[in-house]
Chains A and B, each alone.
Chain A
Amino acid sequence: NAGVTQTPKFQVLKTGQSMTLQCAQDMNHNSMYWYRQDPGMGLRLIYYSASEGTTDKGEVPNGYNVSRLNKREFSLRLESAAPSQTSVYFCASTPGWGDWGYTFGSGTRLTVV
């Protein structure tokens, strides 16, 4: 089925370790986003890419980096994981300007111990 694919689905990291969360969409969407969901906080935007070749910070970018590898793929990297980064991470995509049809992936549950 067409959509947004995130890998891995679950991950446990030790404090200080690094990892990359992968996201790919096969809908030819221009814009891609990374959100984190924490209890009582809703979804908060970490980084986004309005189009291939561009990336911008969202509300909570500290401790993260992103790469828009091509039109399909948008990865999120934690260089030195901290317990405060324990969360569920969602990748999303939209066709582009003026279209609010966000499609979300199923999420990556990350625990940092």
Chain B
Amino acid sequence: DQQVKQNSPSLSVQEGRISILNCDYTNSMFDYFLWYKKYPAEGPTFLISISSIKDKNEDGRFTVFLNKSAKHLSLHIVPSQPGDSAVYFCAASGGEKGAQKLVFGQGTRLTINP
């Protein structure tokens, strides 16, 4: 049972345009959501997060939107740059006392074309 789903395995975007990565979740107890970025042969690195009490969080070129009723979140990257080419993982947590366990989606490979 995949509690966090990224239904697009890959996405190709022109440099300078907006990249939108999507993520759906099924567990209504999740209350914290994160995006990680991963380059080949490296570990994932934290990008941006959002708490369930908010519906938007912005950090420079990166914005995460949360729609709790639809159990959906998205990551917007504007403008997209070649260095943004990587695999992006959505992750979620909540509903368990004391544990900081993250549940990850399958990942979306983003390619930014010059």
Contacts and interface: CB of A to CB of B under 8 A. Distances in A.
Q: Give the residue among B43, B91, B99, B101 with the most A Cβ atoms within 10 A.
A: B43
Interface residues of B, number: 26
A41 interface: yes
Interface stretch (A11-19, A44-52, A60-68, A71-79): A44-52
A90 B43 CA distance: 7
A102 B46 contact: yes
A40 B45 contact: no
A35 B93 CA distance: 15
B59 interface: no
B95 to A, nearest CB: 14
A58 B101 contact: yes
A43 B104 contact: yes
A107 B107 CA distance: 17
Interface in A76-107: 90, 92, 94, 96-97, 99-102, 104-107
Interface in B9-25: 9
Contact of A102 (B98, B102, B103, B107): B102
A21 interface: no
Interface in B31-52: 32, 34, 36, 41-46, 49
Interface in A26-41: 31, 33, 35, 40-41
> Which of B41, B98, B100, B104 counts the most A-chain CB atoms under 10 A from its CB?
B100
A24 to B, nearest CB: 14
A42 interface: yes
Interface of B: 4, 6, 9, 32, 34, 36, 41-46, 49, 89, 91, 93, 98-107
8 contacts: A35-B104, A42-B107, A43-B44, A43-B102, A43-B104, A48-B101, A50-B99, A107-B43
Interface of A: 4, 31, 33, 35, 40-45, 48, 50, 56, 58-59, 90, 92, 94, 96-97, 99-102, 104-107
In order of increasing CB-CB distance, the 5 nearest A-B pairs are A104-B43, A42-B104, A43-B104, A42-B106, A106-B43
